[in-house]
Amino acid sequence: MTGIAKKPTASMSKVSPMRIALWDTYGGSMPSGWVRFLMEQYHFPIKLIYPQDIDAGDLRKKFDVIIFVTRAIPPATGADNDIFRGLEREPKEETTPAEYRPWLGKITASKSIPQIKAFLEAGGSVVTIGTSTNLAYHLKLPVKNALTEMTNAGTERPLPNEKYYIPGSVLRVTLDSTQHATWGMPSLTDVYFDASPVFKIAPEAIAKGIITPLAWFDTNKPLRSGWAWGQSYLQDGVAAFMAPIGAGKFYAFGPEITFRGKRRERLNCSSTSYTVRAKAGPRVAMSLAKTSALPDWILVDSIDSMLWLLTITTIESIESIRIQFVRVLNSLP
């Protein structure tokens, strides 16, 4: 922050606190919990909302932004192939303590989606991450799944795993840093990709301003660390975009840009933690005792974190993912 002696003469925009809602579910959503942690670190006041809150309507009177993390929004058509959603069981209301019953329920196409659309049209902003970008299809935006192929019968189907499979890995995307949601980001940045949605957008939709791409794959080899079978299929696919809906804005981020809310530390080590140095390339060098000409150290607080970190190329990648999400919130009107 830089102080100035007098009021600037250039055009300015008023900044006011945002009323931010974050989707959650009965029993808790791990991605939602990490975003909540992230909000707390940056002092964003948030309110957890549940499907019943959304179905009740009048969302615009209460909130300016709603965040839907992965597995909040169901598919618009076809079967739900999310293996984690298949493991979720809705408890019976009569066996649920009364104070937790308002948390029950799921987002539905018949009740919830119309309320979310009304919120957008009234000037609200919606941020979707991962599979919750399904909302784009519910809203009938001119986007398609970029990872499909035509069968001999002339029908379209998702690419089979024999041709394309990218589990949790780090990929490089190109950003349009002139957009509000990506201001200050480098033109090339790394994102955590876990079988994430990728979109194909018609050129006329971009030319007319119906869809604004924010991030895309401009190479047939975007892999930075991890495993990417058939990564060439990603080339020219859109990883993130923005679309105006009525007076509001809809943001879709296919990659898991808030994955576990990791934060960077320097030279932090304790008897119960591991210290890990990230090194360019698909592997990570680890050391507990000696130093060398490697980059920054970061604190890993569990074995689970250790396993996840093995897919990360650079510490800067983790930081850039976190900053990217925060800038989206700061850019919303």
Model pLDDT for residues 298-311, shown as the tens digit of each residue:
333 333 344 444 44
Question: What φ, ψ does residue 53 adopt, rounded to 5°?
Answer: -65, -40
Residue 117 pLDDT > 60: yes
Residue 15 pLDDT > 80: no
Q: What is the pTM of this model?
A: 0.76
For range 96-107, the mean pLDDT:
92
Q: Where are the alpha helices (DSSP H) in 127-218?
A: 135-138, 203-207
* pLDDT tens string 31-68: 999 999 988 888 888 999 999 999 999 999 999 999 99
d(CA 170, CA 227): 9
Question: What φ, ψ does residue 223 adopt, rounded to 5°?
Answer: -65, 130
Q: Which amino acid is at 131?
A: T
Task: Tell me how crowded residue 48 is: count the other CB atoms within 10 A of its CB.
Answer: 16
pLDDT at 88: 63
**CATH-assigned architecture of domain 20-261+314-331:** 3-Layer(aba) Sandwich (3.40)
Q: What six digits make up the tokens of 156?
A: 């379209």
d(CA 190, CA 170): 6
pLDDT at 39: 86
Residue 149 pLDDT > 90: yes
Contact yes or no for 183/327 (Cβ under 8 A)? yes
Q: Where are the domains of the chain?
A: 20-261+314-331
d(CA 203, CA 206): 5
Contact yes or no for 237/216 (Cβ under 8 A)? yes
